Amino acid sequence: MTVTEKSAYLRGLFEGLDLDDDKDTTKIIKAMLDVIDDLSLTVSDLEDEVAMLTEQVDAVDEDLSDLEEFVYEDDCDDDCCCDDDEDVYEVDCPACGETVFFDGEDIDAGFAACPACGEKLEFELEDCDCDCGCDCDCDEGDAE
């Protein structure tokens, strides 16, 4: 039974008593029933508004979840060993100071020549420590 239904039930009980309207106690009871009716309608309105707000918050939460998934879909850092063949790496040549770019194949080979001065650059590959779930020999998944 809702609060509004309980309020109506109390009003019905009171009206069924057939009390004298001129008595002070009857006037007090009527005034209290009016307050109870107002409160029950207010509570009912608040319940409806809370339900509506809950639906809106759930919709915003779903939209935010979709947005987070879209924005953060790739948890790997740019210098992660995942998909090295598609990545481009920026390197400052220690010999000439020129900023040069290499693709993942050059990095995987461990060395490449600087296109500006011809200096042989060596690359030390570090184990990937990302948690992206790729097959890049991450040790994080093995700890479980």
**Element of type H or E holding 114:** none
> What's the pLDDT at 16?
93
Cα 100 from chain centroid (whole Å): 39
> What's the pLDDT at 41?
96
**Domain residue limits, the chain:** 3-71, 76-128
Nearest to 137 by CA among 70, 66, 61, 84: 84
> What's the pLDDT at 102?
81
What is the C-alpha to C-alpha distance for residues 96 and 94, in angstroms, rounded to an integer? 6
Q: What is the pTM assigned to this prediction?
A: 0.44
- Within 13 Å, how many C-alpha atoms sit on residue 75's CB side? 8
> What's the pLDDT at 142?
44
Query: pLDDT for 82-140, tens place per residue?
Result: 544 467 888 888 889 888 888 877 777 778 888 888 888 887 766 656 665 555 555 54
∠ CA 17-40-21, rounded to 5°: 30
